Structure 1
Amino acid sequence: MFWVLFLLVACAGVLAAGARLLRAVAEAADIPEADVPEADVPEADVPEAGVTLYEAAYLAGGPHRVAVLTLVSMERERRLLLAHTGWATVVDPVGRDPLERSVLGAFGPEGRSPVAAVRTAAARGEAVRRLGERLRAAGLALPEGVRAGFGHGLQAVRGAVLLVVAMATAAVTLDGGTTDTTLVLCWFGLPLLPALALLALARLDASRHSPWASPAGLRLLSGLRAGDRGPLTSVALHGVAAVGDPGLRAALSCGGRGILPRQRGR
């Protein structure tokens, strides 16, 4: 009956991991909602949901989504050219808001740079950081600690599943056949089932909701999804997958250096 010790270890691991994940979920649910501070970006194309498209992009997909939205917006106005090879060229070097200026500041002196490099630099820029701070202050975006806590809780539940499997394997192997193997495995199914259920629910929630938005932010995004959506709104909510132009979608999906155009004569 010493396999019961392995069972107790497995149960303790699942309980600890589940408590950690549920605590992170409770912390996210307790974030108070406040008035959104005045945005430092133009209010053009602000949806009826009450947030700008930049703010909606941040809540739906984080800093990189904001950078993608800015690139697509400037390309639609022909102020940037984004080639399917993954290279971007500046047409109009004057930014109309801090986010556009952050994008333009990521280009080299020749006004040409890989799209991926521009996107990454803009996502890490001061303008996006301030946007996130404003949304967190308003209770619409999850604080960094809460987001990290949810991720760590999810990792803990994954580890608990592996722990149960390892303890069950050890119990069956070391028992030496003195106890019915089916009975032992059934007992280990008791901690395994809730661990798998927690993991499945967490993944389902992560696939349906943004990991960047608080419950109040998710309500705003739900209102935005329910309304009429233009091209930029779809990009803000769904990212590169919502870009209709295949060439533009290819440009935004290229790797770090893009594809250098083939020179004539080669």
Structure 2
Amino acid sequence: MVPILMLVVAWGAAGLFCVRLCVAGARSQSDAPHESGRQLTLYEAAFLSGGPRRVADLALVSMHLRRRLLLAHTGWATVVDPEGRDEVERTVIRAIGPGGQSPIAPVRASAAAADAVRAVADRLVAAGLAVPRGADMASAVRAVRGAALLVAVLGGLSLLASGGPDTTLLWFAPPLAAALGCLAIARFEAHPYGSWASPAGQRLLEACAVPGDGATGDTLVTVAVCGVDAVDDPALRAALASRRGRRAAV
């Protein structure tokens, strides 16, 4: 009885996550024409590299470096110039509030969920460069890998429970083969996997130069493509790594 229950679990896990992977793969395939020679904006590069939170981080760092916003190492943001240069920056200013000062964490979260960032995402999805919502290939592939491992473990436990070689062990071969087959197809059809960029978007991100303007521009490119952790300034890293701001004189 125990091996039968294990077999049911194995089939259920393999079937569920293989279907999820197939759905994610189908949704990630876009009929939109890819623009050859297209140059990404910094916001677009940030979204393809790290999603909405990366776009919010980029806006915060850009405003800080251009002296329109002060990011303190204590985790607070203070508005210096209330005029944003674009809608994402204006979203950040609105998230800080009329007092002109706020902890960075809620500002980042609010900006990442704002319409201005969704507009960047929608533009990239329409161009076939970003993965539509519900088509996260990276997490779907991880789930199928986990299902394959689970099937193998359950097969081994079934062998131990039966006390020796048993033909029921062969019943675990089909779900394992299904999981491994889905992984092989995904590797061939959709690699490299990404949570935000489609395969075409990842190739463009790797091949396309992102415009910068000197030292500030280089820092912004670093934030967009690699994230805040790659920035040389330890105070700036500390400000954006802070989970909770505390009121301080800044």
Query: If the length of structure 1 is used for normalisation, what is the TM-score?
Result: 0.73
Instruction: Give aligned pairs, total.
Output: 242
Structure 2: how far apart are the matches of 1:209 and 1:224? 18
Match of 2:207 among 220, 223, 229: 223
* Structure 1 position 62, deviation (Å): 0.6
> Is structure 2 residue 109 aligned with structure 1 residue 100?
no
The CA RMSD measured in Å over matched residues stands at 4.0
For the 8 Å contact 2:47–2:121, the answer to whether it is kept is yes
SS at match of 2:26: helix
For the 8 Å contact 1:79–1:90, the answer to whether it is kept is yes
Aligned letter for 2:80? V
* Structure 1 position 126, deviation (Å): 1.1
* Structure 1 position 259, deviation (Å): 3.2
Q: Which residue of 1 aligns with 2:139?
A: 151
For the 8 Å contact 1:93–1:104, the answer to whether it is kept is yes
Q: Which residue of 2 aligns with 1:214?
A: 198
Structure 2: how far apart are the matches of 1:200 and 1:69? 36
Structure 2: which 5+ runs fail to align? none
Aligned letter for 2:197? A
**Match runs of 1:119-130 below 5 Å:** 119-130=108-119
> Is structure 2 residue 54 aligned with structure 1 residue 65?
yes
Q: Which residue of 1 aligns with 2:247?
A: 260
- Percent identical pairs in the alignment equals 45
Structure 2: how far apart are the matches of 1:115 and 1:201? 42
Q: Which residue of 2 aligns with 1:246?
A: 234
Structure 2: how far apart are the matches of 1:159 and 1:235? 35
Relative to structure 1, the CA distance from residue 186 to residue 93 in structure 2 (aligned partners, 3 Å threshold; closer, same or farther) is: same
Q: Which residue of 2 aligns with 1:142?
A: 131
**Match runs of 1:80-95 below 5 Å:** 80-95=69-84
* Structure 1 position 77, deviation (Å): 0.4
* Structure 1 position 25, deviation (Å): 6.0
For the 8 Å contact 1:90–1:112, the answer to whether it is kept is yes
Q: Which residue of 2 aligns with 1:133?
A: 122
Structure 2: how far apart are the matches of 1:233 and 1:117? 24
Aligned letter for 1:102? T
* Structure 1 position 196, deviation (Å): 7.8
For the 8 Å contact 2:70–2:77, the answer to whether it is kept is yes
For the 8 Å contact 2:69–2:80, the answer to whether it is kept is yes
SS at match of 1:81: strand
> Is structure 2 residue 10 aligned with structure 1 residue 23?
no
* Structure 1 position 261, deviation (Å): 3.3
Relative to structure 1, the CA distance from residue 110 to residue 19 in structure 2 (aligned partners, 3 Å threshold; closer, same or farther) is: closer
SS at match of 1:118: helix
Relative to structure 1, the CA distance from residue 200 to residue 27 in structure 2 (aligned partners, 3 Å threshold; closer, same or farther) is: closer
SS at match of 1:146: coil
- Could you tell which deviates more after superposition, 236-245 or 189-198? 189-198
* Structure 1 position 127, deviation (Å): 0.4
Structure 2: how far apart are the matches of 1:233 and 1:111? 27
Relative to structure 1, the CA distance from residue 200 to residue 107 in structure 2 (aligned partners, 3 Å threshold; closer, same or farther) is: farther
- Could you tell which deviates more after superposition, 24-33 or 97-106? 24-33
Relative to structure 1, the CA distance from residue 242 to residue 33 in structure 2 (aligned partners, 3 Å threshold; closer, same or farther) is: farther
* Structure 1 position 185, deviation (Å): 7.7
- Deviation readout 1:177-235 (Å, 9 max, x if unpaired): 3x359x988996896698589789989xx9x7531011211111111479998211111
Aligned letter for 1:234? T
- Deviation readout 1:76-104 (Å, 9 max, x if unpaired): 10111000000010000001110110010
Query: If the length of structure 2 is used for normalisation, what is the TM-score?
Result: 0.77
Aligned letter for 2:113? R
For the 8 Å contact 1:18–1:157, the answer to whether it is kept is no
Relative to structure 1, the CA distance from residue 7 to residue 169 in structure 2 (aligned partners, 3 Å threshold; closer, same or farther) is: same
